[in-house]
Structure 1
Amino acid sequence: MVDVNVKEILLECEAFLQGHFLLSSGKHSNGYVQCAKLLQWPDRAEKVLSVVKDQVKDLGIETVIGPAMGGIVVSYELGRQLGVKSIFTERENDVMTLRRGFTVKENEKVLITEDVVTTGKSSLETIEALKEYGVEVVGIACIANRSGKDNLNGYKIYPAISLDIDTYESDNCPLCKENIELVKPGSRKKF
């Protein structure tokens, strides 16, 4: 196992941001991890996600599934490193679903992948979409875990890095009270 300084790589890529951010959950935060800034560099993404691969390589994973948008490239790179199939879910009529002819089989061992886990909404929606197929979800992998938890509804989280970033309810945000400009950097339109 190679020693990888994930935070240093995120800083080098300008993927770790500080300020006042509107998260896809509707909450506010003083920090944000813009993983797209990391994922634009395949060699750096490979290094960071090798940290996750080392944690999950013995779980018998058959398919890696990332919710669109943030989980797609993460799923692809982890699938490549693990030598398994990589697919993604996406919203159709505001419901996460498998589309594009993607399939999974009953009892197939799948790993959900995300760029950042905060509330885990996209991961949990993906897990819900997969219930009808009878797959075995072995966990949730991500570049950055900022949830403050090591599992989400009983599913273990496998992060490249865990970060302690302050998160506030929108109606009780000290950054709003200081009139610091609010920025929405994420991809999800609704929260």
Structure 2
Amino acid sequence: MTEDDVLGEFRASQALLEGHFLLSSGRHSAHYLQCARVLMNPQRAERLATALAARLPAAIRNAITKVVSPAMGGVIIGQEMGRALQVDAMFVERPTGTFELRRGFALEPGDKVLMVEDVVTTGLSSREAIKAIEEAGGEVIAAVSLVDRTAGQVDLGVPYYPLVALNFPTYGPDELPPELAATPAVKPGSRAKP
């Protein structure tokens, strides 16, 4: 699947939005990718996960014993990655502010884990999820996401394979260009920023 194919999937599902958006990272952007919308169609989600699994080197792909994703954004693509790789998929969540496995999910010592995200903007959530997975006994051998918004600049501490890397600029609150500053920001994501 090419970058144009991936963006075509986002456009077809009306998941590529334009305007003034406040991202979960606290940064602002004129573009927003609503991955929940692109993943709401099971066939589309399966196509994207299959393409993402194909991006992994065979040695990594064959070593994975579990898929773990951060809730909320990574749950659907994590489940689809588990299906594509034919391994169990689970998720970490933040009931008290830090990621942890709950709901009876557990990792066995030595589990080789693929951490799966929908979008990586700063890498903070991904690194927090990786830390929680490691604290639960898993060994994160790689990370994947549908979209890398860092244009290849993020370091997650493990090999990272995004389906597509985009370079939509993001801005701090004090760096807004005039066209964004002139309109109120919309927060379309799932996580409210304190």
What's the TM-score, normalizing by structure 2? 0.91
Matched, 1:11 2:11: yes
Which of residues 156, 161, 175 is equivalent to 2:159?
156
Measured in 1, the distance between the counterparts of 2:40 and 2:90 equals 19
Amino acid in structure 2 at the alignment position of 1:53: A
Amino acid in structure 2 at the alignment position of 1:56: L
Which of residues 106, 126, 131 is equivalent to 1:128?
131
Which has the larger displacement, 167-176 or 77-86? 167-176
Contact 1:150-1:156 within 8 A present in 2 as well: no
Q: Where in structure 2 are the equivalents of 1:10-49 lying within 5 Å?
A: 10-49=10-49
Amino acid in structure 2 at the alignment position of 1:29: S
Which runs of 5 or more structure 2 residues have no equivalent in the other structure?
A: none
What are the Cα deviations for residues 95-130 of structure 1, in whole angstroms up to 9, with x where unaligned?
111111110122211011111011122211111112
Q: Could you say which residue in structure 2 is the equivalent of 1:52?
A: 52
Measured in 1, the distance between the counterparts of 2:51 and 2:150 equals 18
Measured in 1, the distance between the counterparts of 2:44 and 2:141 equals 26
Measured in 2, the distance between the counterparts of 1:16 and 1:157 equals 23
Measured in 1, the distance between the counterparts of 2:185 and 2:140 equals 36
Richer in strand (by share): 1
Which has the larger displacement, 11-20 or 177-186? 177-186
Aligned residue pair count: 190
What SS does structure 1 have at the residue aligned with 2:99? Answer: strand
Measured in 2, the distance between the counterparts of 1:150 and 1:81 equals 27
Which of residues 172, 180, 187 is equivalent to 1:184?
187
What SS does structure 2 have at the residue aligned with 1:171? Answer: coil
Deviation of 1:177 (Å): 5.8
Contact 1:150-1:157 within 8 A present in 2 as well: no
Contact 1:68-1:89 within 8 A present in 2 as well: yes
Which has the larger displacement, 50-59 or 6-15? 50-59
Q: Could you say which residue in structure 2 is the equivalent of 1:115?
A: 118
Aligned-residue sequence identity (percent) comes to 41
Q: Could you say which residue in structure 2 is the equivalent of 1:83?
A: 86
What's the TM-score, normalizing by structure 1? 0.92
Which has the larger displacement, 152-161 or 121-130? 152-161
What SS does structure 1 have at the residue aligned with 2:91? Answer: strand
Measured in 2, the distance between the counterparts of 1:152 and 1:136 equals 17
Which of residues 101, 107, 111 is equivalent to 1:98?
101
Which has the larger displacement, 50-59 or 24-33? 50-59
Deviation of 1:150 (Å): 5.9
Amino acid in structure 2 at the alignment position of 1:47: R
